[in-house]
């Protein structure tokens, strides 16, 4: 076991360096972007640009948050704090950034996971029914998928709000109260994800059904439904893992717009608020969290690939 581990050390080291590089790049670009946003961060600390405070109190705040230091010092201090797990304190909320993000995730995670689950269920049904058959229905659904992919998620949310909240009054317009308030946001966020997953799964299924193993399975008298469910779906689903980063980006980006449209408290709302109020510690913390989530998911997917395909393990060890 130790020889195998030693052979894996270069690959492990390479992945760790990649994680550090991604996090450092995300922090650096966000730091620069936030500093370029017009506005006075001290006004955020005070509470209003028009608040009347004496210069001594203003200087105390500036010194407390390190805003009197040169930019390069602020940057280095932030990087050092981030590496130690301290993302600082929100200017606006006066709470630790980690606490603010954790509280927001309690609202965003149910939305994101529910949307992903609904999208996966709809995509599997769509792909199983239309892959390689029912061409009229297949073309119709492909057109709908194209429309969904081309439509901004906030437009989908506005349309659903107009129909089901304003006209039919089946669902509340805004808020986080109860499961009923989650229905329209989940549908809004899941529809573009369903379109992506359906296309990938359908293509994967059609490719799998054209493979020699599918012919062999059919000659054994296995029904078409069982062939699709037990054999082809497993092969087609492998393609979804390559979309992990894209889906994650869609969920994170879509949640910001969805929560804004439906007035839900969550990661999306605090992100917009932090950007509008130039709350640099909170913006940087959200970006660092998102980047860490991306690299962690991708690392897990790489590990899953190595477990599934022995050829990749041999390649990792330097063998052809």
Q: Which residues contact 118 (CB under 8 A, 6 or more apart)?
A: 186, 187, 190, 194
Q: Which residues contact 130 (CB under 8 A, 6 or more apart)?
A: 137, 138, 141, 202
Range of the domain at 143: 99-276
Q: Is 312 domain-assigned?
A: no
Question: How confident is the model at residue 250, as a pLDDT?
Answer: 72
Question: How confident is the model at residue 320, as a pLDDT?
Answer: 44
Question: How confident is the model at residue 24, as a pLDDT?
Answer: 82
Question: How confident is the model at residue 6, as a pLDDT?
Answer: 41
Tens-place pLDDT, residues 186-231 = 999 889 888 888 888 887 777 777 677 766 667 776 666 666 766 6
Question: How confident is the model at residue 59, as a pLDDT?
Answer: 73
Better pLDDT: 305 or 140:
140
Report the CATH number at residue 179. Answer: 1.10.3720.10
Are 245 and 288 contained in the same domain?
no
Question: How confident is the model at residue 43, as a pLDDT?
Answer: 65
- 89 SS3 class: strand
Tens-place pLDDT, residues 150-182 = 888 888 888 998 888 888 888 887 766 767 888
Q: Which residues contact 39 (CB under 8 A, 6 or more apart)?
A: 278
Residue with tokens 């429309």: 147
Are 43 and 130 contained in the same domain?
no
Tens-place pLDDT, residues 68-127 = 778 888 888 877 777 777 777 787 788 888 888 888 888 888 888 888 889 888 888 888
Query: Where does residue 138 fall: left (phi above 0), alpha (psi -120 to 50 degrees), or beta otherwise?
Result: alpha
Tens-place pLDDT, residues 62-80 = 776 677 778 888 888 877 7
Helices (H), the chain: 2-36, 41-46, 55-64, 71-83, 97-130, 135-150, 153-160, 180-209, 212-219, 224-226, 233-237, 244-261, 267-276, 280-308, 310-316
Tens-place pLDDT, residues 251-304 = 777 787 888 888 887 887 888 888 877 787 888 888 888 888 777 777 777 666
Are 29 and 162 contained in the same domain?
no
Q: What is the number of structural domains in the chain?
A: 2
Are 123 and 165 contained in the same domain?
yes
Q: Is 304 domain-assigned?
A: no
Q: Which residues contact 259 (CB under 8 A, 6 or more apart)?
A: 107, 108, 111, 185, 265, 266, 267, 268, 269
Q: Is 81 domain-assigned?
A: yes
Are 123 and 271 contained in the same domain?
yes
Are 106 and 188 contained in the same domain?
yes
Cα–Cα distances in angstroms (integers) from residue 160 to residues 147, 150, 186, 261, 312, in the given order: 15, 17, 11, 11, 45
């Amino acid at each position: 076991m130790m020889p195998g581990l030693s052979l894996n050390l270069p690959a492990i080291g390479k992945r760790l360096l990649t994680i550090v590089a991604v996090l450092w790049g995300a922090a650096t670009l966000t730091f620069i972007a936030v500093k370029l946003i017009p506005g006075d961060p001290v006004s955020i600390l005070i509470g209003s640009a028009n608040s009347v405070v004496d210069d001594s109190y203003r200087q105390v705040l500036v010194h407390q948050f390190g805003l009197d230091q040169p930019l390069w010092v602020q940057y280095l201090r932030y990087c050092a704090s981030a590496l130690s797990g301290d993302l600082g304190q929100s200017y606006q909320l006066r709470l630790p950034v980690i606490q603010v993000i954790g509280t927001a995730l309690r609202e965003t995670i149910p939305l994101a996971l529910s949307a992903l689950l609904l999208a996966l269920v709809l995509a599997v049904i769509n792909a199983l029914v239309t892959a390689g058959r029912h061409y009229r229905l297949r073309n119709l659904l492909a057109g709908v998928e194209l429309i969904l992919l081309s439509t901004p998620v906030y437009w989908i949310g506005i349309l659903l709000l107009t129909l089901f909240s304003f006209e039919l009054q089946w669902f509340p317009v805004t808020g986080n109260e109860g499961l009923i308030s989650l229905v329209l946001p989940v549908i809004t966020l899941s529809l573009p994800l369903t379109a992506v997953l359906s296309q990938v799964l359908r293509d994967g299924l059609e490719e799998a059904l054209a493979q020699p193993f599918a012919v062999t399975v059919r000659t054994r008298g296995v029904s078409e439904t069982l062939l699709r469910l037990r054999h082809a779906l497993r092969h087609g689903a492998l393609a979804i893992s390559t979309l992990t980063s894209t889906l994650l980006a869609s969920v994170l980006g879509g949640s910001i717009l969805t929560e804004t449209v439906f007035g839900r408290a969550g990661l999306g709302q605090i992100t917009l608020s932090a950007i509008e109020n130039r709350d640099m510690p909170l913006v940087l913390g959200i970006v660092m969290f998102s980047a860490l989530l991306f690299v962690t998911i991708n690392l897990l997917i790489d590990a899953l690939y190595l477990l599934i395909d022995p050829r990749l393990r041999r390649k990792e060890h330097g063998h052809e």
